Structure 1
C-alpha cells in the first residue's frame, strides 16, 4: 500500500477566494469565502510575497482588502477591521497608520493633538 506524505498534498486556491490568513509560527490557516479553513505549511511572509495586494494588519494576520466590511478607529493605538463574514480583527498599533494609508482612509489626528485626542471613526467600505 502506497502512503502519501503531507508534502505531496498541495492546496490550490485563488487570492479572490481568500478572506484572510492567520499565522502560527511556520503554519498558516487560510479562511476561504465559503467558510472553510485550510491549514497550510507556508508562512504568512510567503503568502504576502506571493500576493502583495493583501494587507498585513498584525504579525499573525494577513487580510484580503476586497472583503473588508468596515474599519473602526478607536484611538491612535486601537483600531479594528470587520470582514464580510463577521470576523473582527485588531490592527496592531504600529501598523494602524500604514493600514489606513493602504486603504486610503484619513488618519484622524490634528497636528497639535495629544495621543488620546484622536477622533473615533467608523468607515464602511463594502
Structure 2
C-alpha cells in the first residue's frame, strides 16, 4: 500500500476499503481500528471513515450541530460524526498552522 496516495479508508466489519487518488479501490482484511494505529497521520472522522488530511479540500459544518462533512480534492463528501467533530477540527487546525 502506498499510503501517500490513499485518500480515505472505509470500514466494513473486519475489512477496510482503501480508496486511492486515481480512483482505484482495494480491500484489506484489517479493521479501521488497526489501520488507525499504523497510520497515525490519518484522521478518524467517523466510525466508518479514516481520511488522509492531505486530500481534504474543505470542511463544511452543518448549522446548529456539532457535525458536518469533509470534502476531498476529488469531490467526495464524507460525514464527520458529532462525537468526532471537535477532534477533527482540532487536528485540522494544528495541521494548517504547521510546526
Same fold (TM over 0.5): yes
- Select the structure of larger CA radius of gyration: 1
**1:101 alignment partner, one of 82, 90, 97:** 90
Query: TM-score when scaled to structure 2?
Result: 0.89
Q: If each structure's helix is expressed as a fraction of its own residues, which one has the higher value?
A: 2
Query: TM-score when scaled to structure 1?
Result: 0.70
**2:48 alignment partner, one of 52, 57, 60:** 60
1:18 Cα deviation after fit: 0.3
In the alignment, structure 2 segments of 5+ residues that lack a partner are: 95-99
1:14 Cα deviation after fit: 2.0
**1:81 alignment partner, one of 41, 51, 70:** 70
In the alignment, structure 1 segments of 5+ residues that lack a partner are: 1-12, 106-126
1:78 Cα deviation after fit: 2.8
**Pairwise CA RMSD:** 1.2
CA distance in 1, matches of 2:34, 2:86: 23
Runs of 4+ with deviation above 6 angstroms? none
Please give the secondary structure, in 1, of the residue aligned with 2:93. coil
